[in-house]
Amino acid sequence: MAAPQSDHERRKQISVRGIAELEDVNQIKKTFNRHLHYTLVKDRNVSTLRDYYFALAHTVRDHLVGRWIRTQQHYYEKDPKRVYYLSLEYYMGRSLSNTMINVGIQSSCDEALYQLGLDIEELEDIEEDAGLGNGGLGRLAACFLDSMATLGMAAYGYGIRYEYGIFAQKIINGEQQEEPDDWLRFGNPWEKARPEYMLPVNFYGRVEDTPQGKKWVDTQVVFALPYDNPIPGYNNNVVNTLRLWSAKSPVQFDLKFFNDGDYIQAVLDRNLAENISRVLYPNDNFFEGKELRLKQEYFMVAATLQDIIRRFKAAKFGKRDPVRTNFDLFPDKVAIQLNDTHPSLAIPELMRILVDIEGLSWEKAWDVTVKTCAYTNHTVLPEALERWPTSMLESILPRHMQIIYHINHLHLEQVLKKWPGDMDKMRRLSLIEEDGEKRVNMANLSIVGSHAVNGVARIHSEIIKRDIFRDFYELTPEKFQNKTNGITPRRWLLMCNPGLADLISDKIGEDWIVHLDQLQQLKQWAKDANFQRAVMQVKQENKLKLAQMLEKDYGVKVNPSSLFDIQVKRLHEYKRQLLNCLHIITLYNRIKKNPNAKIVARTIMIGGKAAPGYYTAKKIIKLINSVANVVNNDPIVGDKLKVIYLENYRVTLAEKIIPAADLSEQISTAGTEASGTGNMKFMLNGALTIGTLDGANVEMAEEMGNENIFIFGMTVDEVEALQKKGYNAYDYYNANPELKQVIDQIQNGFFSPGNPDEFKDLADILLKWDRFLSLADYDAYIKAQDEVSRVYENQCKWLEMAIHNIASSGKFSSDRTIIDYGREIWGVEPNYNKLPAPHEPRE
Ligand SMILES: *Cc1c(COP(=O)(O)O)cnc(C)c1O
């Protein structure tokens, strides 16, 4: 085997091929030293690694500034339709490496830092993740921003600048502990505060009837301070903006205390208002009806809509008319995409602005609102759907509650026209739920207030129409669409797996980076022994690098020639990490029963955060760690099986783990995972998939062919049939001795000798109340895993499948997803033209 290339050598090779010039390198060294001196106020005798990171970040940032300003000028000049992506989450991860790649200065920076005697990878590792998201939904928003910029769309992300992102997970004695994510502690070199664009947001108060219409008065004001974050497109000199709002107390926050002369108390209470942007709610696929969360949602929406309308009015569209006032044009100039229902108050807020402030008729305002807004649904799990109590809305947003009632009134008139006398249908289609505490169903509001509603994978979009939104589909079938999720190939291949990216570019050129379909060409080398060997070497290097990291950071030794079997994603019962655990225990029992049998060695890694209040998910983490403890310390097992819980799974860890995976676990109960995007990242990096026919797995199987994926278990129809018939886990438990042994071990404390009852509740769930039917899929899962091992023994076959699957992953680029949103929802086309670089003359 050839000596592995260092990343420095690899990047240098690209530079020979590409654009890196001596001049660039010298300029970057100069700028770096200037920033170390003037920005960091350090010399090299006292500089820390963090100082070097910041000096480099500022150097790279300098390359964004001219492009950023000119992109925004260009949008002002051309006045294209703007796309506004509204999301409570952006799971961005790190920016340094991604920015260097997208603006094309990676190899120059690498060489410059090398000449300065610094290790660029070591500096990259200093950067904190921007962890302003929980999982797939937040990461999707981040991939979309990259694609929209790369496709030259005039797009803006809007969200909240949480002071604390997703908590850091520590595993202590096998249990999850949460630590606050103080990600801004050392400062954020990428953001630019814009206090001059601060906007007021109102809460509470009451509604006054005046001759000029409704007035929302006596409100409490909180200011929204925008922070702009650059979103560079790939190699096109476009830099879009992600604008994140931070809560600021008004100068006179609490008049009561000021009037009482309690100046100190008044200053202290400014924190109350600023708590709105303090912390990300750490729930994935779960609705927690907390007042502060409702305030976050409205805060983001209210500030954003003011910004959108200001920009609409300020558009240059004829010199004689300096302010645009005709809102007929609004839907032609503005598209608003709601990432789940979290920003769905945008619908009543836009109505409030248009009717109460701009003086439009209700009918006109409604027409504008529906034409402008579109809603993406992300889950069918009932516990995840937002249903805010009307009492809470009435108190915090009294005018919005009135508007929602009026929307509902007119909507139900239409329903009654279509289905006269059908009270059941009325009840199911109402935005207001009346059983138990009166609530607003935000999904229903979002459907009624949007012209397009989409699911995030084909099967999910079908389930939406058939099940949860069935009545709405009957009412307005033309609204319902599918937009299968995707991932950005820049971060998830070019950046995180440079070895594989180079190999691909050597074969087919670099076009795949922006046209991922081009990977198809690789199919001709799927059986090529030389190409297989090269792909295997890259995978082996990636596995070795991960193994070294695991040993260095966690002190665990893994066998890098074992099969790396990986499940990383949020910890959730529906994702069935428990089913994975049942397989682990089964393998362990087989080894113990037959220690001399030849088996394929596996390193099984599971990682993911549990919501802090999710008791069962935390118990599952503890079980996995307890099983790991038994398995890893059993001398009979040796190198054949290792189990590792990957602590603190996040974007940056994903970038290190996924390129090293052999097997990707995507094993949710059919019908529960809306799409999944982790599945796509693994496919693109040459892991094979074991999975159910759920979410995007269905379309992945279609693209690669059933013979290249390990599909097992019940289909959605079979799940439904079983639930209808009545699921009895004991049927499976009693029928399969291997399964029975595994459950008994969990039940009787085999993995928790100090506390035999520790996992009784998990065994109980599996046997009595498992909504996700784990035992019904156990047998098929074990058989599929046996097949995985059998195929892995034939390395040629395995590599052929892996290469074929990489070559089949073009559909899962978020560029494709965004082009589809543009064409079918926003009325916006991609623009592949490059803007002139900052040093080039304008067009
Ligand atoms: C892609 C990604 C996810 C989503 O993974 P799924 O397997 O689709 O749930 C979650 N977390 C991180 C850090 C990711 O990068």
Mutation test of ligand 1: which of 144, 568, 667 has the most ligand atoms closer than 8 Å to its C-beta?
568
DSSP-H helix ranges across 315-431: 330-333, 346-352, 362-372, 390-396, 398-418, 423-429
Q: What is the pLDDT of residue 359?
A: 96
Q: Read off the pLDDT of residues 240-276 as tens digits, 9 standing for 90 and up.
A: 999 999 999 998 777 676 777 788 888 888 889 999 9
Name residue 83's beta-bridge partners: 155, 335
For the ranges 10-24, 183-197, 278-292, 506-520, which has the lowest average pLDDT? Answer: 10-24
Active site residue 569: yes
Q: Torsion over CA of 283, 287, 291 and 292, rounded to 10 degrees?
A: 20
Under 8 Å between Cβ of 619 and 581: no
- Of 681, 689, 804, 816, which is the active-site residue? 681
Span 473-494, average pLDDT: 98
CA-proximal residue: ligand 1, atom 6 (nearest): 678
Predicted pLDDT at 843: 62
Please name the residue whose Cα sits nearest to atom 4 of ligand 1: 136
Q: Using the atom order of ligand 1, give the atom closest to the CA of residue 575.
A: 9
Pocket of ligand 1 (CB under 6 A): 135-136, 139, 569-570, 650-651, 654, 676-678, 681
**Residue range 653-684, pLDDT digits in tens:** 999 999 999 999 999 999 999 999 999 999 99
Contact between 267 and 250 under an 8 Å Cβ cutoff? The reply is no
> In the prediction, which pLDDT does 13 show?
56
603, 611 in Cβ contact below 8 A? no
pLDDT of residue 1: 35
Distance separating alpha carbons of residues 549 and 560, to the nearest angstrom: 12
Determine the angle formed by the axes of helices 615-632 and 577-593, rounding to 10 degrees.
Answer: 20
- Cα(774) to ligand 1 centroid in Å equals 21
Atom of ligand 1 nearest to the CA of 695: 8
Rounded distance from Cα 569 to ligand 1 centre (Å): 5
545 is known as an active-site residue: no
Q: How far apart are the first and last CA of the chain?
A: 51
Is the pLDDT score of 323 beyond 80? no
Instruction: For the chain, list the domains and their CATH numbers.
Output: 1-9+21-78+95-123 (no CATH), 80-93+129-485 (3.40.50.2000), 508-812 (3.40.50.2000)
Average pLDDT, the chain: 96
Does the CA dihedral 29-35-40-42 come out positive or negative?
A: positive
Examine the pLDDT at 498 and tell me if it is beyond 80.
Answer: yes
Residue 833, helix vs strand vs coil? coil
Between these two residues, 163 and 20, which has the higher pLDDT value?
A: 163
Q: Which residues pair with residue 663 across a beta bridge?
A: 565, 688
Q: What is the pLDDT of residues 579-608, one digit of tens each?
A: 999 999 999 999 999 999 999 999 999 999
Residue that has been written with the tokens 């949008």 in this structure = 75
The amino acid present at 41, given as its one-letter code, is V
CA dihedral (406, 408, 409, 414) in degrees, to 10, reads: 130
pLDDT attached to residue 842: 76
- Three-class SS of 635-686: CCCHHHEEEEEECCCCHHHHHHHHHHCCEEEECCCCCCCCCCCHHHHHHHCC
**Residue 2 scores a pLDDT above 50:** no
Q: What is the mean pLDDT of residues 107-134?
A: 98
